[in-house]
Amino acid sequence: MLKTIILTDIKQNIQSLKLQITFVIMLVVFTVGSIAYVFQYRNALEDYRKYSSKMQDELKMKADINITKLAVEKKDYLFSPLLNGFIDDAKSQFIPNNIKYNAYNVYEYSINRKTSNPYLFLSNELNWGFILSILTSFAVLLLSYNAISGERELQTLKLILSNSVSRGVFLFGKYLSIVISGVLMVLPGLLVSLIILLLSGILKVNTLLAFQITGFMVAATLFISAISALGLFCSVASRSATVSLLISLSLWSVFLIFSPNLAVFAADQLFKIKNSETVQSEVNMASDAINKAAPEGSWSMNGNDPFFERHELRAKNVTDLMNSEKQIKDEWYNNQFGQYEKASRVTYISPISLLGMVSESLMGSGYPRFRKNWSDLHTFQNQFLTWFKALDAKDPKSPHWYNPYEDVSTSRQKIKFEEIPIYTERMMTIPQRLTTALPGIMLLVVYSFLLFGITVVMFNRYDVR
């Protein structure tokens, strides 16, 4: 009986106007989105390569001067464009993607907007995540809002239930048919998109890509089942299909619009942290105090003689300044991370946000990528400093008074470009990605179960006349 219900409903859904129209629109958006992505990715990669090679040339020039200049110069690490942006870019261009560091410290992060156009409105990329979040969720709601209330209005519900089929089995059949119809609606678009990307030659077929695509498809199925459960819930919440539609549209609007607004509101009002002006004035005050307390001669400098005795005082003073700023700023950075994480958790009432979180983790982009780079750069910075100090120790012309900002009292030997340690980003491994995505996946499953459970309870009392 279950199989009959499922097959009949799937057939009905496929023949319905709503599925056909949304299927066509989805296919068009998948196609245009993928073609546009090929161009956009190629441009982004070309710009990134030009930028990297110019940075490399500058590095070569510095190495030709001396190793201390290499160590104290603040470098920028700019995140490279990721190939999996066609699946989900996790709004990577809107969050920090540039980290400043030198051998002594990882200083700050910022958003490098150099390739974005400030005169364009903020908009979403047409990737798989966007299509699923907006189009597919809407289409699945359209399919499911009148699954029960619509059948009641057509008077067919009481006819079906007059057969020897339990309400639970019937509802489960409806649910599965909606999920399968939703998946069937999306699959051709995904395939067309993959074919376009493979033909363009930008895709590198490997285990990681296969994992990402499979992972996203699993997440998409879970998302579709959560939305289907939501649609069924709306259908059972009323005896009229129109009211069911109103409820489902309202919930969809709330999930899409309300949740990001709520997150920012919560961050501003509930999870308040210091602002940048306050932090900067704290840093300035601490620096002034250190400079006032510094012994006389801490600011003397003789560029020609590293062993000028006042350079030791200078090095100590500059190190103290760096450490005090580092302490204040690191605390502030951790507060920013905490504020963002708490605000994101607020959005988890919305399955759309949950899908975003899961795909971000599976792609290893967005916020998880930033945090990994932030911590990896700290590790690299320590290794870089150790390497520099080892080289400096071998130089008899250096007094070894380590100054984090200035080329004053450490080794001035030249170094070959090939010997310089360069930071290379290590992408999150598959197990790491799965661990990060797991909470979101569990929440989506819980969402579906909970909503479906409530729907079953409500349907058992539903008046089918």
For the bound state, the minimum distance from the C-beta of residue 91 to another protein, rounded and expressed in Å, comes to 5
Nearer to another protein, 359 or 448 (CB): 359
**How many positions of this chain bind another protein (CB under 8 A)?**
75
* Amino acid in the structure at residue 163: N
* 424 belongs to the binding site for another protein (CB under 8 A): no
Helices 207-236 and 167-200 meet at what angle, rounded to 10?
150
* 385 belongs to the binding site for another protein (CB under 8 A): no
For the bound state, the minimum distance from the C-beta of residue 347 to another protein, rounded and expressed in Å, comes to 7
Q: What is the dihedral of CA 373, 376, 378, 382, to 10 degrees?
A: -150
| Contact indicator for 237, 244 with CB cutoff of 8 Å | yes
* 263 belongs to the binding site for another protein (CB under 8 A): yes
* Residues paired with 78 in a beta bridge: 98
Nearer to another protein, 76 or 419 (CB): 76
CA neighbours closer than 13 Å in the CB half-sphere of residue 121: 2
| Binding span for another protein by CB under 8 A among 214-222, 224-232, 341-349, 424-432 | 341-349
Rounded Cα gap, residues 403 and 408, in angstroms:
7
For the bound state, the minimum distance from the C-beta of residue 65 to another protein, rounded and expressed in Å, comes to 17
Among 30, 33, 83, 174, binds another protein (CB under 8 A): 33
Helix, strand and coil percent figures for the chain, each rounded to 5: 70, 5, 25
Nearer to another protein, 156 or 240 (CB): 240
Q: How far is CA 364 from the centre of its chain?
A: 8
Q: Which residues contact 392 (CB under 8 A, 6 or more apart)?
A: 67, 68, 398, 400, 402, 410, 411
| Contact indicator for 157, 173 with CB cutoff of 8 Å | no
Rounded Cα gap, residues 422 and 392, in angstroms:
18
* 273 belongs to the binding site for another protein (CB under 8 A): yes
| Contact indicator for 394, 384 with CB cutoff of 8 Å | no
For the bound state, the minimum distance from the C-beta of residue 123 to another protein, rounded and expressed in Å, comes to 4
Among 336, 417, 423, 458, binds another protein (CB under 8 A): 336
The residues in 353-372 that bind another protein, with binding defined as CB under 8 A, are 366-367
| Binding span for another protein by CB under 8 A among 159-167, 178-186, 187-195, 267-275 | 267-275
In whole angstroms, how far apart are CA 200 and each of 35, 196, 441? 9, 6, 32
For the bound state, the minimum distance from the C-beta of residue 200 to another protein, rounded and expressed in Å, comes to 12
| Binding span for another protein by CB under 8 A among 7-15, 99-107, 249-257, 455-463 | 249-257
* Amino acid in the structure at residue 43: N
Nearer to another protein, 347 or 398 (CB): 347
Rounded Cα gap, residues 46 and 176, in angstroms:
46
The residues in 105-134 that bind another protein, with binding defined as CB under 8 A, are 109-111, 113-115, 117-126, 130, 134
For the bound state, the minimum distance from the C-beta of residue 281 to another protein, rounded and expressed in Å, comes to 11
| Contact indicator for 5, 177 with CB cutoff of 8 Å | yes
Nearer to another protein, 125 or 392 (CB): 125
Nearer to another protein, 33 or 351 (CB): 33
* 374 belongs to the binding site for another protein (CB under 8 A): no
The residues in 125-184 that bind another protein, with binding defined as CB under 8 A, are 125-126, 130, 134-135, 138, 142
Nearer to another protein, 368 or 399 (CB): 368
In whole angstroms, how far apart are CA 382 and each of 105, 262, 387, 458? 8, 40, 9, 60
> Per-residue x/- mask for another protein, residues 52 to 81, rule CB under 8 A?
--x---------------------------
* 43 belongs to the binding site for another protein (CB under 8 A): yes
